[in-house]
Chains A and B, each alone.
Chain A
C-alpha cells in the first residue's frame, strides 16, 4: 500500500500509515512510538486513520463492474462484432459496453464506416507483374506435375515396351539328333522301352 502523509510538517507522519499497515521496517517502530508521545497532530491523525480503516472494513464487498475496470474495452472485439464472429457471451459484453461507452460506440461507428467505404471501392486488378508471377508459379507447378507424370508414364511405357520389344537371348540352332541319341541311350536301360522301338528323328520334318 502506498504511504500517505498523515500530517504536513512531520517527518515521521508517513510512518503512521506504515505502522497501521504493519509495514514498518526494523527500528521504525521506536521512532513512531517516540513521535506519537510528543506530536498531538499525529496522534489525532493516527486515530482518524485508524477509525477510517475500521469503518472501511465494515463496508460490504462490491464486485466492480467490468466496464469500470481499466483495459476492458472490447477493442478488437468491435471488429469481430461487425463481422458477426463473436460468441454469445462476447456479443452480450460488447452490446452492454457500447451502451454506456461513448468511445467504443464512436470507434464502432468509424469501423463500420470504413468497411462500408472499402466495399464501395471499385475492384482493382492486380499489377501485371503479380499476374505474371502468379501465372508463372502456376505454370511451374503444372509443369512440375506434368514432368513427374510424364516420367512415371515414360518409365511404365519403357518397361512394357522393353519387355515386349527386347528379344530374349535366342536359343542356338537346335539339332535334335544329339538329344535323340542321349534319350535313346537312357531308354536302352529302361524296362518297357523296347516294346515300341523308337523311330529315329530322321523321320522328323
Chain B
C-alpha cells in the first residue's frame, strides 16, 4: 500500500515537472539558438518582406557577419555594426557608439512549441516554432552547423504573416571580414533618464535610455525576441518623411507610420512632444505598446480642447 502511494506521488511530481518546468526549458532553448545566431559567421544575400495594414515592402540585402560584427548593404549604402557601434562604410560622418547597455531575458510569454529538422539551401536546419498565448508567433530555421538563422517568419496577432526573411544564398565562409573603424570616428551616446517614457509597455522592458540626436531622449525596449526604440523630441507636428506617411488611429490618438522591409516607423505628437518609434515588433504588440506609451493628440475636438487647455 505504501509503495503504491509512493509511486502515485512520484507520478504526480513528474507530471507537475513536465507541465511547469518544460516550457521554461523550451524558452531557454530559443535564447540559446538566438545567441548562437548572433555569434555565427556567414555571408549571403537575404530577402526581407514586411506587411502592415495592407502595405508590403520587400528588399534584398547583402549581409556578412563575423566576430559579432555585421555588414549590411542595402540600397547603395553599407553599414557595419556590432559591439554597440554603427558606422557607414565610406561615409564622411562619424559613427555612433553607445557608452553602455543592458540585457534582458526572453519574456515568459514565448514558448518553444516544437523543434524539428529539415533541409534548406542544401543544409541541415532546425525549425523552431515559437508560440505566444497558444498561437504561433514566430518560426525560425537555424543552420545546424553555423547557428545562422537562414529564415524566419513572424506572425501578427491574427495568424497572418507580418514579416518574412530568407537567405537567398548562403556562404558559411565569409569572403571579406569587415571591421569597425577605430576611434575617434564615433559620436559617443551616453545614458540618460526619462520620466516620460514608461519603464515597461505591453510586456516590453525599457532596457536602456540614452541621450538621443537633436536633444531627444532615446528609450530602447525589448522582450528578448522583438525590440523597438522610442525617441522623444520637443515640439509637436508631423515632420520629415512622416509627412508622406500613412495615418492610423489607436484609441483616440492619431499616428503616422512608414513601413520598411524590416521594420515599422511610427510617429505621433502629444503634450508638447513628438515621438518616433522604430522596431520589429508585430502589429498587435505595436498597438498595445502605443496604447501604453505617451498618448497621441486625438483627432477629436474634445481631446484637442483637453490637451490644449491642460497640456
Interface residues of A (CB under 8 A from B): 159-160, 162-164, 166, 168-176, 178-205
Contacts and interface: CB of A to CB of B under 8 A. Distances in A.
Interface in B57-112: 57, 59, 61, 63, 65, 70, 72, 74-77, 79, 81-86, 95-98, 101, 103
Contacts of B161: none
A182 B37 contact: no
B144 interface: no
Interface in B37-63: 37-38, 46, 48, 57, 59, 61, 63
B276 interface: yes
Contacts of A189: 82-84, 98, 101, 103
Given A171-B269, A184-B86, A205-B258, A176 B240 contact: yes
A188 B260 CA distance: 19
B113 interface: no
A198 B101 CA distance: 20
Given A189-B83, A205-B241, A195 B236 contact: no
Given A179-B212, A179-B213, A200 B265 contact: no
Nearest to A198: B262
Contacts of A193: 38, 227, 280
A154 to B, nearest CB: 16
A163 B305 contact: yes
B149 interface: yes
Contacts of A191: 31, 34-35, 37-38, 224
B225 interface: yes
B213 A182 contact: yes
6 contacts: A172-B235, A173-B239, A174-B242, A179-B216, A187-B81, A188-B84
A171 B236 contact: yes
A183 B83 CA distance: 13
Contacts of A183: 218, 220, 229, 278-279
Given A186-B84, A196-B280, A168 B236 contact: yes
Interface residues of B, number: 83
Main SS at interface, chain B: strand
A137 B44 CA distance: 93
Given A191-B224, A199-B262, A202-B74, A174 B276 contact: yes
Contact of A170 (B31, B77, B140, B237): B237
A179 B276 contact: yes
Interface of B: 31, 34-35, 37-38, 46, 48, 57, 59, 61, 63, 65, 70, 72, 74-77, 79, 81-86, 95-98, 101, 103, 140, 149, 152, 163, 165, 189, 208, 210, 212-214, 216, 218, 220, 222, 224-227, 229, 231, 233-237, 239-242, 244-245, 258, 260-263, 265, 267, 269, 272, 274, 276, 278-280, 301, 304-305, 307-309
A202 B280 CA distance: 17
- Residue of A164, A174, A190, A200 ringed by the most chain B CB atoms within 10 A: A174
Contact of B305 (A164, A175, A198, A199): A164
B244 A199 contact: no
Contacts of B74: 197, 199-200, 202-203
Given A195-B37, A197-B63, A186 B260 contact: no
Given A171-B239, A182-B210, A185-B97, A195 B81 contact: no
A128 B9 CA distance: 109
